[in-house]
Chain A
Amino acid sequence: MANMKVGELGVSVAREPSLMTGAVPSKDWWDVPAVFKPGNFCYPAKPEMVEYHSKSLPGKFGESRVWDPQSDDWKLPENWKEIIINGLKERLDKFRSLKIFMDCCVRCGACADKCHFFLGTGDPKNMPVLRAELMRSIYRNEFTKAGKILGKLAGAREMTFGVLKEWFMYFYQCTECRRCSVFCPYGIDTAEITMMARELLHLVGVGTNWILEPAANSNRTGNHMGLQPHTLKENMEYLCDDIESITGIKITPSWNRKGAEILIINPSADVFAEPGIYTCMGYLLLFEHIGLDYTFSTYASEGGNFGSFTNNELMKRLNAKMYAEAKRLGVKWILGGECGHMWRVLHQYMDTMNGPADFLEMPKSPLTGTVFENAASTKMVHLTEFTADLIRHGKLKIDPSRNNHRRVTYHDSCNPARAMGLLDEPRYVLKNVVNSFHEMPENTIRESTFCCGSGTGLNTGEIMDLRMRAGLPRANAVQYVKDKHDVNTLSCICAIDRATLTALVDFWVPGTQVCGVSELVGNALVMDGEKERESGLRFEPLEGMEG
């Protein structure tokens, strides 16, 4: 089950009876139970992970224990229903969004076929509206008069173990991508509902390891990979060695340096895993090229916030490191790398949770003098904004023909696109550093962009089949530009994307490479004193140098 072949999976997506292919289940959705089988769920969190988080946030992660989603005994606390209902009440009182989203859906179905999970699985409960109904039905039963009086007729039902199973299954088949909310007439954001549901699930100790372990790592070591300070530095040195052999330029980035002008925070995967490391090499070349006074930090060495997949409190704790470290190092402002949910948290939550950042200065590009007024309060600038501004002011020496072996398209990562509105900056950068840029079809880019299918802690191997299904809409659009324009490179500005899209295109669109926008920038930069470049940052021969 876990690893299907393309042909088989393709046939089942297009032909298997599902709501997407036109087969209507014979039972109402509330009568169809969620069944866990190997391959369709993420592994539960290890007890030590739950214990670790419970130490600093008591009660938020439930009781630690070994449990098996396939069994009919999840070893829930005796009063689990009470915990959930009280938790829901608490959240209704804390978030107007949740209250409104619980009350206002008219079940018009506009969101139904917008979710990549529904498109790929055809499972009715993956229609955003039904995903939300899984919680709404409980809300009606407990908190509305109509639900109490009319019960099922008003769409209310009781909280049962079966419902809890559904929650665990379907709120972990939502990547909080917010595509559905673009199309909903009331802006109902199922991602918001998913976030609340996951908070509730954690309260009764129902969480997944692939989220809690990276979150624990982030908390303790500063980054989700669990890299210790010396390892981080060493690995960056390897990247610098590679840069030197490719370009002849020696770069020595600084770590934890007090008094640097700018603190760089990027996703830690960019220091360690392919293809992120090439993106990181791009950052390094760029900073060297413009002579930036910057430092990395080992303590705040993660942009990505795995806490945001669990609950508010952990999200806040992990995020707080950024400001804490900026303050300690005495930098002027922070430059954030190419990372998706890092930027969602940064843009929408950070200042509110961990501000005011009054110890920082208004971000100003030391090269162009541009003041980033849109970051006046948070004092954090997105690398893509920063780069676009440099290019616009002619501060970079660029030779786009170095990327001539790449025919590039751009994947709008969900978070920067739908939670920030960062759409034109990356395109501007790309058009300046590559000669061959092609957009994917209209309904699949910008605010309508499709998720990679594995965000929010779902990029784990145990649900490969689900991930490939969920990523199908994205892959399909890549296939389209590949057929039409011979595109061979899918660029993006998110570290999770770089990891998950690689697996996705290997499966559906083999022969396509995934890269960060900065890799293409780094490749095109003409560095002072460099040697003749024969290969790109991946040691791939440049066009005309193949021989």
Chain B
Amino acid sequence: MKILYPFVAVLGLIVIAAVGSSIGMEALFGIVFPYLALLIFIGGFINKVVGWAKSPVPFRIPTTCGQANSLPWIKQDMLDCPSTTPGVIGRMVLEIFLFRSLFRNTQADVYDGPKLRYGSSKYLWLFALLFHYSFLVILVRHLRLFADPIPFFVNILEFADGFLQIGAPHIYQSDLVIIGAIALLFLRRILLTNVRYISLPADYFPLFLIFAIAVTGMLMRYVTRVDVVNIKTLAVGLATFKPVIAGDLGMMFYIHIFLVSTLLVYFPFSKLMHLGGVFMSPTRNLANNSRMVRHINPWNDPNLKPHSYASYEDEYREFMVDAGIPVDKELPAETPAAEEA
């Protein structure tokens, strides 16, 4: 069920777009939905990030993954346990661009004894890296459709991406990589028992969706051979707020763009928001300097005081005096008779 529902949902989306676009609703799928989706995406994304930002970070709670800044002769791990802003930036760059934490991953086994064994496990890191980077490359490549003239970096990237020059038109490596990476991530999710057990429909849905987006995109490029000029006209139109649908764009295009629209809408309401969250996680983006610099908690209650020393001493004064522990207030003089005795 956990896999079936999202699969059916993606199929459903495809059917909707196919039917809708072929019964004359091209403008709805080609113009209205994309705009709406983008609006929801941007609005939802900002809303979420602002929502996070509204909550304060009362305490400095970085997870320290290396030696802290301490005595001058002890070598600090500047990147995994930063105490300065440049260090934090370094840590975040490693995290965001190289998935530093995932790189640490290990896998544990238990066997008779009982004994535990931990091996390094870099699959998740590798698949995730492949997936995200090929996604990024494809995204940037799409700029050529929206921008006129085409930015130089898009051309460079495209050249590099098509470097292998397999077939005609050239097959981009990123297309192959993303398909492979999604497949591997999916396989990982169903083959590793732990991961399968924790997975929700909400985890399979984006995988299927992105897979379908990639496949329809490739079909358009390599198989059905859509008219790029027409698509570019629409895309530039969309980007300049003067959209026109010029000529037949083909069913595959409408499916593709509808799936993309769905992804955009789904994004801010789902775990995909990890894109924003990774920048804001307080265990990673804070310097570990809380003993060095005072940090303010906006809701700290200055009236919350400890059980006072005075009442402590009141309770134990006699014992303290007996034991020769200094007190602030002497014992009340007992009856003079007793004292003289």
Binding site for B on A (CB under 8 A): 10-11, 13-15, 19-22, 24-25, 29, 56, 92-101, 103-110, 112-114, 119, 122, 124, 127, 129-130, 133, 144-146, 150, 153-155, 178, 181-189, 192, 219-222, 228-230, 233-234, 255-258, 298-299, 313, 316-318, 320-321, 324-325, 328, 346-349, 351-353, 355-356, 370, 373-378, 380, 385, 388-389, 392, 417-425, 428, 441, 443-444, 446-448, 472-473, 476, 479
Contact = CB atoms under 8 A, between A and B. Distances in A.
B108 A145 contact: no
B101 A392 contact: no
6 contacts: A181-B63, A299-B313, A321-B306, A352-B290, A352-B294, A370-B71
B292 to A, nearest CB: 5
Contact of B319 (A97, A186, A229): A229
Contact of A95 (B55, B271, B324): B55
B331 to A, nearest CB: 14
B68 A421 contact: yes
Given A19-B193, A107-B198, A447-B65, A351 B52 contact: no
Given A222-B312, A375-B291, A113 B194 contact: yes
A328 B281 CA distance: 39
A256 B70 CA distance: 30
Contact of A108 (B95, B195, B288, B325): B195
A316 B300 CA distance: 10
A448 B104 CA distance: 10
Interface residues of B, number: 104
Contacts of B192: 109
A153 B6 CA distance: 9
B306 A317 contact: yes
A157 to B, nearest CB: 11
A201 B294 CA distance: 31
B26 interface: no
A299 B101 contact: no
Contacts of B77: 421
B74 A428 contact: yes
B277 A109 contact: no
Contacts of A420: 64, 68, 288
Nearest to B53: A96
A364 B139 CA distance: 56
A91 B331 CA distance: 46
B63 A472 contact: no
Nearest to B322: A230
A374 B292 contact: yes
Contact of B194 (A103, A112, A419): A112
B131 to A, nearest CB: 11
Interface in B309-341: 309, 312-313, 315-316, 319-320, 322-328
B114 A14 contact: yes
Contacts of A56: 307
Given A14-B112, A187-B283, A374 B70 contact: yes
Please list the 8 inter-chain residue pairs (A to B) with the smallest Cβ-Cβ separation, ordered nearest first.
A421-B68, A104-B277, A421-B64, A230-B323, A187-B283, A14-B114, A320-B306, A109-B195
Nearest to A469: B114
A133 B60 CA distance: 24
A96 B282 CA distance: 8
Interface in B218-242: none
A241 to B, nearest CB: 16
Interface of B: 5, 48, 51-61, 63-71, 73-75, 77, 80-81, 83, 95, 99, 101-102, 104-108, 110-116, 118, 124, 128, 192-203, 269-271, 273-274, 277-278, 280-284, 288-297, 299-301, 304-309, 312-313, 315-316, 319-320, 322-328
Contacts of A113: 106-108, 194
A313 B300 CA distance: 9
A178 B315 CA distance: 39
Contacts of A348: 59-61, 290
B52 A96 contact: yes
A187 B124 contact: no
A334 B294 CA distance: 17
Contacts of B305: 317, 320, 324
B74 A97 contact: no
B311 to A, nearest CB: 9
Contact of A100 (B52, B59, B199, B270): B52
A500 B54 CA distance: 41
A430 B300 CA distance: 39
A255 B197 CA distance: 56
Given A182-B63, A230-B325, A421-B66, A29 B197 contact: yes
Contacts of B320: 229-230, 256, 298
A282 B280 CA distance: 43
A353 B110 CA distance: 42
